[in-house]
Amino acid sequence: MDSIPILSIVLWLPLIAAVIVLFLRERRAMFAVAMAGSALSLILSVAVWAGFSPGDGMQFRESFDWLPALGIQYALGVDGISLLMVLLNTFLFFLCIVYAWASVHDRVKEYLFTMLLLEVGITGVFLALDFVLFYVFWEIMLIPMYVLIGVWGGERRVYATVKFVLYTLFGSLLMLVAILALYFVYGNTTGVYTFDILELTQGTYGERFQLWAFLAFFLAFAIKVPMVPFHTWLPDAHVEAPTTGSVILAGILLKMGGYGFIRFSLPLFPDASQAAQTIILVLSVIAILYGAMVALMQTDLKKLIAYSSVSHMGFVTLGIFSFTQQGLDGAMMQMFSHGLVTGALFLCVGQLYERTHDRRIANLGGLAHRLPIFAALFLFFSLASIGLPGLSGFVGEFMVLLGAFVADIRIFGVLAVFGIILSAAYMLWMYWRVMLGSLKEVHRRLEDLTRLETAILAAMALVTLWAGIQPQVFIGIFTADTSGIVQALTATEVSSALIK
């Protein structure tokens, strides 16, 4: 498989499909091409998984010079960390496009084009091994997202998109500055001017520089994650985004933040990461509890789930900045699970909205009478979101907590545990008010899920269950790579302790 540039194929296939879609007129044909493109991308990424050997660092690497004068390459590669994200990404995109078949009837061509472009952008972020390439994908992905919310969104979509784009752009511009600074600092000390991520990761940087660069990267990632208090773009964007937009936003976009922390912040700036640990842990715990508290009082279903994302992603940062193997693995699992579960929840809400044209919790009730299949699946994902053991949500939270206890930051672990009570409270209360009780008169004629919709949710449910029962299948992908990061970190900790 070495001779085939399989990663490039995974990456660019959706773009090819997108271009073909542009030349088609028939809705059926457009969907056929789009589905084929994303399905092939999914299959190939699974093939990459099959051919992947855990623990061997970056694999399936491709690189050739792009702008050699500046040390810029087109370089792709996967390790376990990015592989899991790519798998999640291609999986969700495929399902979203299938879902769109049933739900999107307005500007189909543009919609599919945008979605496929978005897929390319996000996959690129996870595959890029060159900072410039990474940054390009990181920014490119904003545009289709902007279009997706701005065109197919709700009433206040303009406000939401502008907020979303400005917010994230602000963060990423600082990151660009930091990337350039990194380039010059590394070049000045070693004489090699390169944007190669792996090479730059090998370098060591002064403490002052680390601090500033860490801060710039931190802002970009913290806004993406999003950490409290940078989270307010999220509820607005989610509420206004179309269903698939929300799925992608919650499912993958947020993971780019966590991925960034693991891939860049920790290896590049170990000392600064150590220095910032306490602050970030405090912010994480605040996110967990605060997000849950705010979610409790939301009246809009999508906002509730959006705030629950804030809470869940708090576990991710908590795990990452515990600097332990279990914490990092837990953060990865939490990201994976959150992508699946929250994505599925947004799909559920979308399906509900298509039927009732209402997302306000107070106006719903007793829907389980009319929608038994939906009720079962919605309950399943609500429980997974609560972190019910046996489903994927639990694995991540549990391992993050393990990490917190191992790292002797028990107080944060103990506080975070209380988040799981609150998460049960807001989810179950919401489920009760929406699905249980007596049915409202206006909802007497609702139809249950179609086969297609059931199949989509069932596919996600199966993976959620799988990841809950046998998480080792997924942990095994990346645990060797995270352990490398942890070892590097603890090594610097020891060395800096020796210096002191």
Q: How many other CB atoms are there within 10 angstroms of residue 465's CB atom?
A: 15
Q: Considering the complex, what minimum distance in angstroms separates the CB of residue 479 from other proteins?
A: 5
Q: Which is nearer to other proteins, 10 or 333 (CB)?
A: 333
Q: Does 436 bind other proteins (CB under 8 A)?
A: yes
Cβ atoms of residues 422 and 445 within 8 Å? no
Segment interacting with other proteins (CB under 8 A) among 9-17, 125-133, 249-257, 292-300: 292-300
Q: Considering the complex, state which of residue 208 and residue 410 has its C-beta at the smaller distance from other proteins.
A: 410
Nearer CB in complex with other proteins: 330/343:
330
Q: Which one of residues 149, 276, 399, 461 is an interface residue with other proteins (CB under 8 A)?
A: 399
CB nearer to other proteins: pick between 130 and 397: 397
Among 10, 127, 294, 463, binds other proteins (CB under 8 A): 294
∠ Cα 38 41 45 (to 5°): 140
Contact pick of 104, 340, 371, 475 for other proteins (by CB under 8 A): 475
What single-letter DSSP state applies at residue 130?
B
DSSP for 401-419?
Answer: HHHHHHTT-HHHHHHHHHH
360 sits near other proteins (criterion: CB under 8 A): no
Q: Which of 413, 453, 463, 481 is the binder for other proteins (CB under 8 A)?
A: 413
Identified binder of other proteins from the candidate list 47, 424, 455, 459, rule CB under 8 A = 424
Angle at 94 between CA 246 and CA 316, to 5 degrees: 50
H or E stretch covering 61: strand 59-67
For tokens 């399906």, the residue is: 351
65 versus 408: smaller Cβ distance to other proteins: 408
- Separation in Å, CA 284 to CA 33, 222, 321: 42, 10, 9
Minimum CB–partner distance for residue 444 and other proteins (Å):
14
Taking CB under 8 A as the criterion, the residue among 389, 411, 491, 494 binding other proteins is 389
6-22 helix and 80-103 helix, angle to the nearest 10 degrees: 20
Interacting residues with other proteins between 328 and 347 (CB under 8 A): 329-330
Q: Name 162's bridge partners.
A: none
Q: Which contiguous run of DSSP H or E holds residue 60? A: strand 59-67
Q: Which is nearer to other proteins, 23 or 432 (CB)?
A: 432
Site string for other proteins, 133-172 (x = CB under 8 A): ------------------------------x--xx-----
Q: Which of residues 216-255 bind other proteins (CB under 8 A)?
A: 228-229, 231-233
Which position among 362, 414, 462, 491 is part of the footprint of other proteins (CB under 8 A)?
414
Using alpha carbons only, give the angle 451, 454, 457 rounded to the nearest 5 degrees. Answer: 150
Q: In this complex, which beta carbon is closest to other proteins, that of residue 25 or of residue 445?
A: 445
Q: Dihedral through CA 338, CA 344, CA 346, CA 349, nearest 10?
A: -140
The site for other proteins, by CB under 8 A, has a size of 62
Distance of alpha carbon 479 from alpha carbon 456, whole angstroms: 29
Distance in angstroms (rounded) separating the CA atoms of residues 485 and 201: 11
- Considering the rule CB under 8 A, would residue 95 count as an interface residue with other proteins? no
| Region binding other proteins by CB under 8 A among candidate stretches 95-103, 114-122, 129-137, 366-374 | 366-374
* Token pair of 496 as six digits: 């800096």
CB of 443 to other proteins, least distance (A): 13
Minimal distance, residue 405 CB to other proteins, in Å: 4
The minimum distance between CB 274 and other proteins, in angstroms, equals 19
Minimum Å distance from CB 98 to other proteins?
Answer: 22
Dihedrals φ, ψ of 409, to 5°? -115, 50
Kindly state whether residue 361 participates in binding other proteins, applying the rule CB under 8 A: no
Q: Which of 41, 284, 326, 382 binds other proteins (CB under 8 A)?
A: 326
Nearest to 283 by CA among 320, 314, 328, 321: 314
Q: Does 410 bind other proteins (CB under 8 A)?
A: yes
Say how many C-beta atoms besides its own lie within 10 A of residue 110's C-beta: 15
Between 100 and 304, name the residue whose CB sits nearer to other proteins. Answer: 304
Cα 140 from Cα 120, distance rounded (Å): 9
Q: Is residue 476 part of the contact set for other proteins (CB under 8 A)? A: yes
CA–CA separation, 402 vs 424, rounded Å? 20
> What letters, b where the CB count within 10 A reaches 16 and e where it falls short, cover 67-88?
eeeebbbbbbbbbbbbbbbbbb
Within residues 437-466, the interface with other proteins by CB under 8 A covers 437-439
Q: Considering the rule CB under 8 A, would residue 321 count as an interface residue with other proteins?
A: no
Residue selected from 70, 470, 491, 494 as contacting other proteins according to rule CB under 8 A: 470
Torsion angle, alpha carbons of 90, 72, 264, 218, to 10: -100
Cα–Cα distance between 178 and 166 in angstroms, integer?
Answer: 19
Report yes or no: 389 and 258 within 8 Å, Cβ to Cβ. Answer: no
Residue placing its CB nearer to other proteins in the complex, 189 or 472: 472
Q: Give me the residues that bind other proteins (CB under 8 A), please.
A: 163, 166-167, 228-229, 231-233, 290, 293-294, 296-298, 324-326, 329-330, 366, 368-369, 372, 383, 388-390, 394-395, 398-399, 401-402, 404-406, 410, 413-414, 417-418, 420-422, 424-425, 428-429, 432, 435-439, 470-472, 475-476, 479, 483, 486
